[in-house]
A and B are shown apart, each in its own frame.
Chain A
Amino acid sequence: MIKKEILIVDDSEINRCMLRMMLEKDYDITEAENGSEAISIIEKDDHIFRLILLDLVMPQMDGFEFLEQLKEHHVQQDLPVIIISGDNSEKSLDKAYDLGAVDFFTKPFNPNIVRHRVENVINLCSQSYRDALTSCYNRSGFIQIVEKFIQKVDDITKYSMIFFDIKNFKAINSIMGTSGGDNVLKFTSKSIQDSDLNPLFVARLEADHFVCLAERERIDYDAMMDHDGDTIEIKGRQMQVRFRMGVAHLDDESSVAGYIDRAKLALNYIEDEYLKPYAEFDQKMAQSYVNTAVVTSEFETSLENDEFKVYYQPVMEAATGKVASAEALVRWIHPERGMVPPDLFIPALEKDGYISKLDLFVDIKVHSILKEWKSQGLPTVPISVNLSWMDFYDADMIQFLKDRLENDPSSSKDIRYEITESSYAALKENRSVILKEIRHLGAWLLMDDFGSGYSSLAMLMNYHFNILKIDMSIIRQLENNEEVPHIVELIINMSHHLKMKVVAEGVENENQLEFLKKAGCDYIQGYYFSKPLPEEDFKKFLAKHQAENKILTY
């Protein structure tokens, strides 16, 4: 850890030296002979002072004038000042307190008093940038101090940001209780500070997330792995604490917060949680990181500029090959970057909470298209739109959907809603009533992506779905994993017992289609029949199928 810096302002060299001698073991000392020299040192801003020790009686600029100027200049506003007082003359001390001094000590200097006062004041004044539990920096304190630090270093690329989380922290918390968890956090903070990384600054950002700034050359993964899994005794039990680490080397292209994000992002790229629980940020991640930032910053303008387009992928009845319905899928056609893949922008929008706006946009678009085509006498099929788990927290959006279903009951036959397992958590938080209400108003609900995640049966037990969609990742394995056909048959049987129809997603060839037909699958979605189509093409697709009498009537 870097020593905290103290500025000593006193006109006597003997006094300054004496204070330096008493403090330099624990602090980094800078000296100024008088107030004006001190002001110019502070204004140069290449120090991060935690405290000023100030003599009041000095030639040039005295202590009072210095305090006034310090206030006026607004440099380091919360920088505390301790007065070095020649005597206890209350008058001058009162004046100094009025000007913002927080404590004083008198000559002759007593090292114990000096050290205690200094330590107390620094601790007291650091609460706003310290984490109370571990006493390392909190997020804002860390960002502030690292920003200052990297401004004054010659070569920023010599430093790295290292993000830590504790792998089994939730388990520790639930087994050991919060106080046990707190002990682990303190242990972690100390482990990081005492490690061979010799970090310059350490912070706890939130929960079990720690970050530190260290010299790049100090990073030795093998050495760090020796300590990963160190044990700590809590309430007589040995607990193993395992870290994961994400590392971002500084490169002068981002901000402190940006480097923290990068280091955190690298965690997602850890490949082997046990043997190699660390990853370094690289440009590939940078690409997706930049894009994530771009997505959220450009989203609203892009929506206004009509860059988001709704595509429609037909769903066919397996037995007859008739068009049964379609799924509305959103595409982002960026004026410069072209088609932005949905798996890039949708997670980004989910993260920043914009996804509900996009879901609503799709819903409104689909509704208006269906109305338009119907009024023109064109063929239509029911179209399903996706609801993100976040939508369940958007009361306005849910109210809008319910109002429309109430005011326009026919729309309940036109628009269906697809939700994924990721909504389960949201639904459990007292939001299940929303699904029931939507269903009650006549709309169909689809369980989307079944088989891609936990395939939770609880989800199927607790909520009634009209249709279950088998995820494309399962359909793709039909031919090369001999277990999969059995699993698909079981899913189809189970669904039928639960009075759900089944859609197989991602069907690409005849073999898959034939198997699914035999297994009793009701509907087929996938490139074998059609890729997602832009509005005009979908219109033609429907017209063509109508001409062949191949649109399913309900």
Chain B
Amino acid sequence: MNIKELYEKIGGNYDDVLTRLMSESFVERFALMYTKDSSYETLMAAVGSADICEQFRAAHSLKGVAANLGFTELSKAAAELTEQLRPQNKQANPELVNTVKAAQQKTIAGLAEYQALQK
């Protein structure tokens, strides 16, 4: 599996990210950085804590990071949750949270598989 195939697998936009980051090696480097990123964990913790403000903040951050990496599916899911939370008057919608969860799992699984194949 090459990096382009990884992006296809996790619902990302490879062409977009390649244009922005200029080289395949940069795309790979940044994509793999996501395995150590804590945006998703921060969001889940906030959902667990019922702090709406923190939920919004974390969803917003995840959306931004995923967008920068070209993880379109994850970014879209986080964006929807962010918009739902923006008025900051309702707890996170569990359905939207689940969509984010699914996208995250898909992304992490893809990255893990890619990493394993590189070794």
Query: B20, A108: Cβ atoms under 8 Å?
Result: yes
Query: B20, A110: Cβ atoms under 8 Å?
Result: yes
Report if B50 contacts A (CB, 8 A).
no
Name the B residues within 8 Å of A107 (CB-CB).
Answer: 63-65, 67-68
Report if A441 contacts B (CB, 8 A).
no
Query: B37, A14: Cβ atoms under 8 Å?
Result: yes
Query: A86, B64: Cβ atoms under 8 Å?
Result: yes
List residues of B (37-72) whose CB comes within 8 Å of A's CBs: 37, 39, 42, 54, 57, 60-61, 63-65, 67-70
Report if B24 contacts A (CB, 8 A).
no
Query: B70, A108: Cβ atoms under 8 Å?
Result: yes
Docked complex Cα distance between A21 and B16 (Å): 17
Cβ of A501 to closest chain B Cβ, rounded Å: 87
Q: Which residue of B lies closest to A111 (CB)?
A: B20
Cβ of B27 to closest chain A Cβ, rounded Å: 11
As a 0/1 sequence over residues 67 to 103 of chain B, the CB contacts with chain A under 8 angstroms (1 = contact) are 1111000000001001000100000000000000000
Q: A15: which of B21, B54, B68, B70 is its contact (CB, 8 Å)?
A: B68
As a 0/1 sequence over residues 89 to 122 of chain A, the CB contacts with chain B under 8 angstroms (1 = contact) are 1000000000000000001111100000000000
Report if A57 contacts B (CB, 8 A).
yes
Name the A residues within 8 Å of B54 (CB-CB).
Answer: 59
Q: A108: which of B16, B26, B37 is its contact (CB, 8 Å)?
A: B16
Name the B residues within 8 Å of A59 (CB-CB).
Answer: 42, 54, 57
> Chain B binding site: helix, strand, loop or mixed by DSSP?
helix
Q: Total A-B pairs in contact (CB under 8 Å)?
A: 64
Report if B33 contacts A (CB, 8 A).
yes
Tell me the count of chain B residues lying within 8 A, CB to CB, of chain A: 26
Output the residue of A14, A18, A59 with the most chain B CB within 10 A: A14
From known contacts A18-B30, A110-B20, infer whether A12 and B39 are also in contact, taking CB-CB under 8 Å.
yes
Query: A109, B68: Cβ atoms under 8 Å?
Result: yes
Name the A residues within 8 Å of B57 (CB-CB).
Answer: 57-59, 62
Name the A residues within 8 Å of B61 (CB-CB).
Answer: 11-12, 57-58, 86
From known contacts A86-B64, A107-B64, infer whether A14 and B69 are also in contact, taking CB-CB under 8 Å.
yes
Docked complex Cα distance between A107 and B65 (Å): 8
Cβ of A106 to closest chain B Cβ, rounded Å: 9
Docked complex Cα distance between A89 and B86 (Å): 10
Docked complex Cα distance between A21 and B25 (Å): 12
Docked complex Cα distance between A108 and B68 (Å): 4
Cβ of A476 to closest chain B Cβ, rounded Å: 77
Docked complex Cα distance between A86 and B58 (Å): 12
Docked complex Cα distance between A11 and B57 (Å): 11
Query: B26, A14: Cβ atoms under 8 Å?
Result: no
Report if A145 contacts B (CB, 8 A).
no
Name the A residues within 8 Å of B16 (CB-CB).
Answer: 108
Docked complex Cα distance between A110 and B19 (Å): 8
26 inter-chain pairs at a CB distance below 8 angstroms, sorted by A residue, are A11-B61, A12-B39, A12-B61, A12-B64, A13-B33, A14-B68, A15-B65, A15-B68, A57-B57, A57-B64, A58-B57, A59-B42, A62-B57, A86-B67, A86-B82, A87-B63, A87-B79, A107-B63, A107-B65, A107-B67, A107-B68, A108-B17, A108-B68, A108-B69, A109-B20, A110-B20
Which 5 residue pairs of A and B lie closest in terms of their CB atoms, listed nearest first? A107-B64, A108-B67, A86-B64, A107-B67, A57-B60
Q: A residues touching B (Cβ–Cβ < 8 Å)? A: 11-15, 17-18, 21, 55, 57-59, 62, 86-87, 89, 107-111
